[in-house]
Structure 1
Amino acid sequence: MPASTPYTEAWLTGPQNTRFYTRTYKADTPTAVLVFLHGAAEHAGRYTDMHTSLASQGISVFMFDQRGFGKTALDKEHRSKDSAYGKTDAQCQLDDMEWAIEHVQLEFGGLPIFVMGASMGGGLVLGLMCDEKRASHKAVAAIRGVITGSPCLTLTKAAPRLVLWIVKFMAFFKPYMLYPIRNKPEDLSRDPVTNAQYLADPLIKTPGSLRSILDMLGLGAHILSTSYINWPKDTPVLFLHGTADPVTSCESTKALFEKLQAEDKTMITYPGAYHELHNEPDDVREKCLADVVAFIQLHCR
């Protein structure tokens, strides 16, 4: 690995003896550590610039390619025997997230721990905090604050009922069949460079399997309709969303923000911005990064 690489890589064994590809960005003088969850079809490599910037401002970052995605699913040399693209479900993902937080507790003992997720990952960090059964878990209790970017609560354009019925029917027989349509990069951001990189990325395929997609949508709907009542009131939360997001609904994020009974909650919207805030032009990516840093610094005190 070149000396200039801003992160260290490791393969770590997590729940169900699954081997995870991980990256750690260590700040020289850290004031906090952030556990980050990427979105569907993504991997750690799509956040290098953002996480390097966070580390330069005193926030160390731990990230892993989620179960069923990235190198965790596709690296033939290091992946687990049973790992495959799209082979995941919401409960396993929540277990994996707790494992990552526990790892950070050991690796960065004493530092305030924050969690952040984007898109699917944004829904998962909310799902973890709204899971009544996990509220007493060591990992959940350790979280100082939560940041959710463009969370997948509902899609901006709901899938037709017939399509959803077909997906559910097929998932009953072949849960890990891959959804056959890839995300459109032009829906992700207004940056043609990162969109072209998305198309050319060998680690990016479809958004996942039939089961993983249904779980993602089901978790979001459950949070929005029911489990939001379980949010720990003393855990601060920051919502981030672009108002023109073609993928996940900004209106649903606003609705959850209004419902959530958190004592310290903030929602920031970015006018005209699309789904991937860390890739958006017109100073959105810089503003988003500054908002994340400000939230973490405020709640480190």
Structure 2
Amino acid sequence: MTEAQLSTMDGSRGEITVYRWPNPDATHRVLLVHGYGEHLGRYDHVAAALHANGAEIIGPDHLGHGRSAGERVLVHSFDDVLADLRAVADRAGADLPVVLVGHSMGGMIAARYAQLHGAGLTSVVLSGPVLGSWAPIALADGEIPDEPLDVSTLSRDPAVGERYAADPLIWHGPFKRETLRALGRCLDEINAGPRLTPPTLWLHGEDDHLVPIGPSRAGIDRIRGDRFEQIAYPGARHEIFNETNNAAVLADVTTFVTRTLGG
């Protein structure tokens, strides 16, 4: 697989960086959505697994994240993020079936995107998604601690946390109050929104302390459609794509995608 090709485009609130892992023999396109404070450059191995399964992969660094413009991790409204994601998808074209894959906050974004644009999606994969409710949102109305993330909560593989802590493109500071409020509004919209119409796979680590499985399960149960599958991984922490069993997780993803494509 070739390395990601980076380009830029005008987003809702400034220039955003777009990643594309091309595949001249692609049978489908994956729209990949990263989580809070991180960037899509951390997903090369995910893209490699999807690419080997016949995908071209595209996705942006969200505004205020990674290589994209904007104050770090400041999101006034996730409508802006959703509009940017739709613009990236539109620029890629309508020549291939589209699969949506989102992790963590990216899973929340993907769920809302699927509610709004589900007719254009072949299937949806939600990895450790922020759904239902999320405890940090309550910090928006009080004191927001400036404490670094406990990187041991990411994965049982300590190297994952070490790389995370050393990555200059990752935000290592406190939450922004406006972003937490925007997260809360987006969850309210998802909870009140329609059920998901595309086939959907929900994946979660049972030992996820950053986005606990209970609230996420309650959230997905509220919006899941008739074509729904779920897998919980015993002992796995938050970043299941970076867990010690990540090969099995990615195999579960590609098996689901192939099945929903009719392969």
What's the TM-score, normalizing by structure 1? 0.79
Following superposition of structure 1 onto structure 2, how do residues 97-246 of structure 1 map, counting pairs within 5 Å? Answer: 97-104=85-92, 106=93, 109-130=94-115, 135=116, 140-153=118-131, 154-155=133-134, 158-159=135-136, 163-166=139-142, 180-205=146-171, 206=173, 208-224=175-191, 226-227=192-193, 230-233=194-197, 235-246=198-209
Assess if the C-alpha contact under 8 Å between 1:27 and 1:57 holds in 2.
no
Q: Note the residue ranges of structure 2 that are not aligned, 5 or more in a row.
A: none
- Bigger Cα displacement from structure 2, 250-259 vs 54-63: 250-259
Q: Classify 1:21/1:90 alpha carbon distance in 2 versus 1 (closer, same or farther; 3 Å).
A: same
Instruction: Classify 1:210/1:182 alpha carbon distance in 2 versus 1 (closer, same or farther; 3 Å).
Output: farther
Query: Are residues 1:12 and 2:19 paired?
Result: no
Instruction: Tell me, in whole angstroms, the C-alpha distance in 1 between the residues paired with 2:26 and 2:68.
Output: 27
| Structure 1 unmatched ranges of 5 or more | 74-82, 171-178
Partners of 1:151 and 1:33 in 2: CA distance = 21
**Matched residue of 1:259: which SS?**
helix
State, as a whole percentage, how many aligned pairs show the same letter. 25
* SS of residue paired to 2:250: helix
Note the C-alpha offset of 1:15.
Answer: 3.0
1:257 to 204, 217, 220: 220
The CA deviation at 1:295 is: 1.5
Match of 1:96 among 84, 88, 92: 84
Closer, same or farther: CA 221–116 of 1 in aligned 2, 3 Å: same
* Cα separation, 2, equivalents of 1:221 and 1:242: 24
Distance in 1 between the 2:229 and 2:100 partners? 15
SS in 2 for 1:180: coil
User: What corresponds to 1:38 in structure 2?
Assistant: 34
Structure 2 residue identity aligned to 1:287: A
1:244-288: CA deviations, max 9, x gaps?
10111211222233333512011111111000011101xx21111
Q: Bigger shift: 268-277 or 49-58? A: 49-58
- How far, CA to CA, are the matches of 1:121 and 1:207 in structure 2? 19
One-letter amino acid of the structure 2 residue matched with residue 254 of structure 1: R
Q: Which amino acid aligns with 1:129?
A: A
TM-score (norm: length of structure 2): 0.89
